[in-house]
Amino acid sequence: MYKVTVYVTYKDSVLDPQGEAVKGAVHRMGYDSVENIRIGKYFEIQVSKDEDDIEQVIEEICDKLLANVVMETYRYDIQEVEI
């Protein structure tokens, strides 16, 4: 079994209004050293070991569905795990 984690965030060049709102709250909590906060999405995907090209499958799923690559970017991590 493969355990895949995918992280999707807005590209650095795209304003993240939710992140900005949370940053404002963090500043009001008194943590002025916090310079930036970005909010993203996190996915856990389990894929059968039978899959030959796991990277390609994950990238296709990310490009077509999990991320809108016009404004978002993604990264992923693939681990082989025992069931």
Partner 1 sequence: MKFAVIVFPGSNCDLDMYAAVKDILGVDAEYVQHYEKSLQGFDAVLLPGGFSYGDYLRTGAIARFSNIMAEVIRFAQEGKPVFGTCNGFQILTEVGLLPGALRRNDSLKFISKQQKLKVANTHTSFTTAYEPGEIITLPIAHGEGNYYCDKETLQQLKDNDQIVFTYTNDNPNGSVENIAGIINKQGNVLGMMPHPERAVEALLGSEDGLKLFQSMYKNYQKELCK
Which positions touch partner 1 (CB under 8 A)? 10, 13-15, 17-18, 21, 41, 65-66, 68, 70-71
Residue closer to partner 1 (CB basis): 15 or 29: 15
Q: Strands of the chain (E only): list them.
A: 2-10, 40-47, 72-80
Q: How far is the CB of 82 from partner 1 (least distance, A)?
A: 30
Q: How far is the CB of 42 from partner 1 (least distance, A)?
A: 12
Q: Residue 50: which H helix or E strand, with range?
A: none
Q: Where are the alpha helices (DSSP H) in the chain?
A: 17-28, 54-61
